[in-house]
Amino acid sequence: MRNSPQKSSRLRSYFSHHARVSLASLGRLYAQPIATIMTTAVISIALALPVGLYIALANVGQVSTGWDNSTQISLFLHTHVQQQDAEKLMRRLEKHKDIKKVELIDKEKGLKQFKKTSGFGDALKYLDENPLPIVLVVQPRIHPGQPDRTTKLVDDLSKNKLVEIAQLDVQWVKRLYTLLEIANRSILVISSMLAIAVLLVIGNTIRLDIQNRREEIEVSKLIGASDAFIRRPFLYTGFWYGVLGGVMAWLITVSSLMLMEEPIHNLALLYHSDFRLNGLDTGSTLLLILISCALGLTGSWIAVSRHLKDIEPS
C-alpha cells in the first residue's frame, strides 16, 4: 500500500530486524537471570540424563565388542587322556590356521581354579582322585563377517578322538547383546518422555512470557503488526532456551564424565584393561544442541499458537 518502503530495502531490513529481535530476546533472558537459569537448568538436566545413559550404553557396547573377539573354545578332553597326548594335541592345534592361541589347563591347575572359583572346593576332599579332565582353551582367529568359520572349527575339533566336548563360549555374549538392546529401547522411551517434559517446560515459560507482555501484544496488533511479527520474539526466546539448555546439558555431561573417568580407569586397570571412557564427540555434541534448539522452537511454537490468538485488542 501507499506507505510501504521499497522492496530491496525491505528485504535488507527484514534480516536486520531478525538479528535485532533475536538479540532482544536474548537480552530479555539476560535481564531476568534467576528465572532464566532455573528454566535452563530444568531443560539441561532433562537433556543430560538421556545423554548420560546413551554414553554409558555406548561404552558397555564397546567393551563387549572387545569381549566378542576373545571368544574361546573350551575342549574338554576325555578323562583318560594323558598329559603328553594333550600336549601333543596342543602343539598340533597351535599350527592350525584358524587358531590364534591354545592354552593347556592340566588336571592340577584345573582343580586349583575350580577350588578358587566354584566354592565347592571342600567337596573335592571327599573324592579319591581328581575328577577333572584336561582342558585345552582354544582362541580362534576371528574372521569378521565369517562367523561360520568359528562354528566349523568347533565342529572339526569336536570330531577329534581325544576331545569329549568342544564348547564355544558365546552364549553369554549373545545374552549381553540382548540386554543391551533392551537397555537401548528403555533409554529411547525415557528420552522421549524427557523430550516431552522439555517441550512442556519451554511452552509454559513462553506462555508466562506472553501473559507478561499482553499489553505490548495488544498495542502491536492495533498498529498493524502481523501475527508473524508478534510471534517472532517468542520463538527466538524458545530458540535461546534451547541453545542455553543444550550447552548446559553438554557441560553437565562433560563434567560428570570427568568426575567418573579416574575411578573407571582404575577399575579397568584392575581387570588388566586399558579401557577408557568414551565421551561426547563433536558430532554428538552438535546433535545434542540441535535437538535442544528444535525442542525449544517447537515448545515455543506450541505456546505461541495456542495463546497469542487469545489476545485481541478491545
Partner 1 sequence: MIHFDNISKRYPGGHDALRQISLRLGKGQMAFLTGHSGAGKSTLLKLIAMIERPTRGQIFLDGVNLNNIGNRKIPYIRRNIGIIFQNHHLLYDRTVFDNVAMPLIIQGYRRQEIHKRVRAALNQVGLLSKEKTYPITLSGGEQQRVGIARAIVHKPLLLLADEPTGNLDPELSREIMQLFARFNQVGTTVLIASHNLELIKEMGSPMISLQDGRVSHNGLPFSISSSQGR
Per CB under 8 A, contacts with partner 1 among 121-180 are: none
Determine how many CB atoms are found less than 10 A away from the CB of residue 58. 17
Asked if residue 216 binds partner 1 (CB under 8 A), the reply is: yes
Name the amino acid, one letter, at 32. Q
Asked if residue 190 binds partner 1 (CB under 8 A), the reply is: no
Site string for partner 1, 14-53 (x = CB under 8 A): x-xx------------------------------------
Asked if residue 219 binds partner 1 (CB under 8 A), the reply is: yes
Q: Which is nearer to partner 1, 54 or 301 (CB)?
A: 301
Among 96, 100, 109, 221, binds partner 1 (CB under 8 A): 221
Distance CA 228, CA 25 (A): 15
Q: Which is nearer to partner 1, 106 or 216 (CB)?
A: 216
DSSP track, 244-312: HHHHHHHHHHHHHHHHHHHHHHHHHHHTT---------HHHHHHHHHHHHHHHHHHHHHHHHHHGGG--
Distance CA 248, CA 240 (A): 12
Site string for partner 1, 258-277 (x = CB under 8 A): --------------------
Closest distance to partner 1 from the beta carbon of 11 (Å): 9
Q: Say which DSSP state 105 is in.
A: E
Among 26, 218, 256, 275, binds partner 1 (CB under 8 A): 218
Among 128, 129, 215, 274, binds partner 1 (CB under 8 A): 215
Among 170, 225, 260, 264, binds partner 1 (CB under 8 A): 225
Distance CA 261, CA 7 (A): 58
Determine how many CB atoms are found less than 10 A away from the CB of residue 278. 11
Contacts of 111-116 spanning 24+ positions with Cβ under 8 A:
none
- The residues of the shown chain that bind partner 1, judged by CB under 8 A, are 1-5, 9-10, 12-14, 16-17, 215-216, 218-227, 229, 312-314
